[in-house]
């Protein structure tokens, strides 16, 4: 109002009444109609000296201001969610109850509209959005999983982590701790390089779903289905990124399918690991040790064809028994007498045996040679091999299962890696958060979705390769720290959800504080 009068009464401007009010309204960021409203307010003031009143705090009251009623309605929504999904109609239906109708009558209404129900949902902090997936915790609390996780974290903290080079979130190496002894066998190869393995599949039609589009742009047809796929099996390390050296890489592009490359087997992984070790040793000149970490998939735990196993062993001698049909003979082993003397044992008779050359000895003779056969004898196995809990000598198969050399049988993957002088370990089941390569896949797929559409599998493979190379070393080191914080969380006794909370709270740290108090 003052602005309008200043414009109108200034002799140098010579504005009309309408021009002055319009300029004042525009100067206040309002439209022309607001200028007309200013004229009305000025006339009212000149007539009866009445100033316009502000409208702040003049909002109409709502029955939701009643805390008891609001609480009862929210409790009703929680009960509805337990049975499925909620919708605005659920509130409208609730308002038809006698007590709700009485409450509406107080404000002069009979019912509410669906639009009002949606507004109430927003007021109660409900939002209509995509369902979000939280941390996968199914199986985390299984007794065997928890036991293995504790053992893995103990190995990580005492045997592995002191030998790592730790990087901060800026990608800079942190000063190493001093004062711990170096075992004689590790002199010269003390530094440990973490090498992570995992597989992931890229799909031809996996593209961005959101983008900037012009209003004149017409909708284009999209191919149905996921399209062709390429499975990638790769190794990543926080020390230098992807495992490559002099143009050679350990990554495998595999076109899985019945009429394609077949299916990725443990034998394929063994061949790839052998190549990866060669690349690692060439890059480090065999002055460093690799810690190869894999997820706990059954294919990664597969034993060698000649590995020790009492499964399917026969009790009596047999001319041609093999653990796998057409496979090799089971390897010989070493066991220890009670006095500590180590003894070599073959499971097959020698070539010069007078009656059964090269025959399988059978479980009874194997156990007799170990001095464990009881006078009353043993059956081959309990019915269905469902032995009573805690029994160790109820049947022949159980006796062999409990022997240290059988229990300590390593997987074929671990045997290969340890035979080359490196370390192999496996993550606990259901703990993919500990494997930072999962985030590496996510970053690579984000880049892949932005690449141009391809017309053949070779172009697609090139795009996938470029996407893998686009993930920077700084990103990989941040992902590694993210996984390390989860390990610290479990080491301090936090549960899965508490570990998620701690990782978010201390996301800028390489590790977590020594004492954490989870907050609800």
**440-498 pLDDT, tens per residue?**
999 999 999 999 888 899 999 999 999 999 999 999 999 998 888 888 888 787 655 55
The DSSP string of 257-323 is BTTTTB---HHHHHHHHHHHHHHHHHHHTT-SEEEEEE---GGGGPPPTT----TT--SS-BSS--S
Q: For 40-80, how does the pLDDT look when each residue is reduced to its tens digit (9 = 90+)? A: 888 888 888 777 766 655 566 788 888 889 999 999 998 88
Q: Beta 229-237 vs 192-203: how paired, if at all?
A: antiparallel
In this predicted structure, the answer to whether residue 520 has a pLDDT above a threshold of 80 is: no
Closest to 294 in 3D by CA, of 377, 400, 208, 197? 197
What would the two tokens of residue 25 be? Answer: 């309204």
| Distance in angstroms (rounded) separating the CA atoms of residues 502 and 494 | 9
What's the confidence (pLDDT) of residue 171? 77
At 340, give phi and psi (nearest 5°): 95, 0
Stated as kind and residue range, the H or E segment containing 488 is helix 473-491
Closest to 472 in 3D by CA, of 446, 506, 504, 510? 446
Q: How far is CA 418 from the centre of its chain?
A: 28
> Dihedral, CA atoms, 302, 307, 310, 313, nearest 10 degrees?
110
What's the confidence (pLDDT) of residue 221? 78
By mean pLDDT, which of 53-57, 105-109, 324-328, 380-384 is the weakest?
53-57
Q: Which residue's entry shows tokens 């464990």? A: 372
The dihedral built from the CA positions of residue 300, 302, 304 and 310, taken in this order, carries a sign that is positive
Question: CA angle at residue 351 from 306 to 399, to 5 degrees?
Answer: 45
What would the two tokens of residue 449 be? Answer: 């979705």
Q: How far is CA 209 from the centre of its chain?
A: 23
| Distance in angstroms (rounded) separating the CA atoms of residues 104 and 95 | 8
| Distance in angstroms (rounded) separating the CA atoms of residues 195 and 502 | 25
Measured CA distances, 180 to 154, 183, 331 (Å): 17, 10, 39
As a whole number of Å, the CA-based R_g of the chain is: 36
Q: What is the 3-state secondary structure (H, E, C) of 140-184?
A: CCCHHHHHHHHHHHHHHHHHHHHHCCCECCCCCECCCCCCCCCCH
Instruction: Classify 231 as helix, strand or coil.
Output: strand
What would the two tokens of residue 376 be? Answer: 């009353």
Name the residue with higher pLDDT: 277 or 390.
277
Q: Which CATH architecture has domain 150-206+226-302+413-505?
A: 2-Layer Sandwich (3.30)
Q: Using 50, 70 and 90 to split pLDDT, how confident is the model at 179? A: low
* Contact (Cβ atoms closer than 8 angstroms) between residue 231 and residue 254: yes
What's the confidence (pLDDT) of residue 367? 94
In this predicted structure, the answer to whether residue 169 has a pLDDT above a threshold of 80 is: no
CA atoms within 13 A of residue 470's CA, in its CB half-sphere: 17
What's the mean per-residue pLDDT of the chain?
A: 86
Instruction: For the chain, give every domain's residue range.
Output: 2-48, 63-123, 150-206+226-302+413-505, 306-383+390-409
For range 146-161, the mean pLDDT: 90
Percent of the chain with pLDDT over 70: 89
Helix residue spans in 51-165 (DSSP H): 67-82, 88-94, 98-105, 114-123, 143-155
In this predicted structure, the answer to whether residue 215 has a pLDDT above a threshold of 90 is: no
Name the residue with higher pLDDT: 265 or 142.
265
For range 123-131, the mean pLDDT: 86
């Amino acid at each position: 109002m003052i602005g309008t009068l200043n414009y109108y009464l200034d002799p140098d401007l010579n504005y009309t009444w309408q021009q002055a009010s319009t300029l004042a309204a525009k100067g206040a960021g309002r439209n022309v109609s607001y200028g007309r409203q200013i004229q009305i307010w000025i006339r009212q003031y000149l007539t009866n000296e009445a100033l316009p009143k502000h409208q702040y705090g003049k909002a109409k009251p709502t029955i939701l201001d009643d805390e008891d009623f609001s609480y009862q309605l929210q409790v009703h929504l929680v009960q509805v969610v337990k049975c499925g999904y909620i919708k605005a109609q659920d509130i409208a239906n609730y308002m038809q109850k006698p007590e709700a109708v009485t409450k509406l009558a107080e404000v002069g209404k009979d019912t509410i509209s669906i639009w009002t129900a949606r507004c109430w949902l927003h007021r109660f902090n409900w939002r209509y959005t995509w369902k979000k997936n939280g941390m996968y915790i199914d199986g985390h609390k299984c007794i065997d999983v928890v036991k293995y996780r504790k053992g893995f974290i103990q190995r990580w903290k005492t045997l592995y982590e002191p030998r790592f080079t730790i990087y901060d979130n800026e990608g800079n190496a942190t000063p190493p701790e001093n004062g711990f002894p170096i075992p004689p066998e590790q002199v010269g190869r003390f530094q440990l390089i973490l090498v992570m393995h995992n597989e992931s599949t890229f799909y031809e039609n996996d593209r961005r779903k959101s983008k900037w589009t012009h209003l004149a742009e017409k909708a284009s047809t999209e191919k149905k289905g996921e399209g062709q796929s390429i499975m990638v099996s790769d190794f990543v390390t926080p020390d230098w990124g992807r495992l490559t050296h002099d143009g050679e890489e350990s990554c495998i592009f595999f076109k899985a399918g019945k009429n394609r490359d077949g299916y990725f087997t443990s034998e394929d992984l063994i061949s790839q690991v052998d190549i990866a070790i060669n690349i690692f040793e060439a890059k480090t000149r065999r002055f460093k040790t690799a810690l190869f970490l894999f997820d706990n998939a059954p294919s990664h735990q597969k034993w060698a064809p000649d590995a020790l196993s009492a499964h399917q062993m026969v009790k009596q001698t047999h001319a041609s028994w093999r653990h796998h049909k057409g496979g090799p003979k089971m390897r010989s082993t070493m066991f220890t007498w009670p006095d500590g003397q180590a003894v070599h044992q073959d499971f097959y008779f020698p070539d010069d045996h007078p009656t059964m050359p090269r025959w399988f000895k059978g479980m009874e003779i194997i156990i007799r040679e170990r001095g464990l056969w009881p006078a009353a004898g043993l059956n081959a196995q309990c019915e269905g091999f469902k032995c009573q809990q805690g029994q160790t000598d109820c049947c022949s198969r159980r006796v062999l299962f409990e022997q240290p050399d059988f229990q300590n049988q390593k997987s074929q993957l671990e045997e290969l890696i340890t035979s080359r002088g490196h370390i192999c370990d496996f993550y606990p089941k259901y703990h993919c958060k500990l494997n930072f390569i999962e985030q590496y896949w996510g970053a690579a797929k984000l880049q892949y979705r932005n690449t141009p559409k391809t017309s053949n599998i070779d172009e697609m493979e090139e795009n996938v390769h470029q996407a893998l190379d686009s993930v920077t070393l700084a990103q990989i080191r941040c992902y590694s720290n993210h996984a390390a914080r989860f390990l610290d969380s479990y080491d301090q006794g936090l549960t899965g959800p508490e570990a998620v909370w701690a990782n978010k709270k201390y996301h800028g740290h390489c590790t977590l504080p020594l004492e954490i108090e989870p907050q609800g």
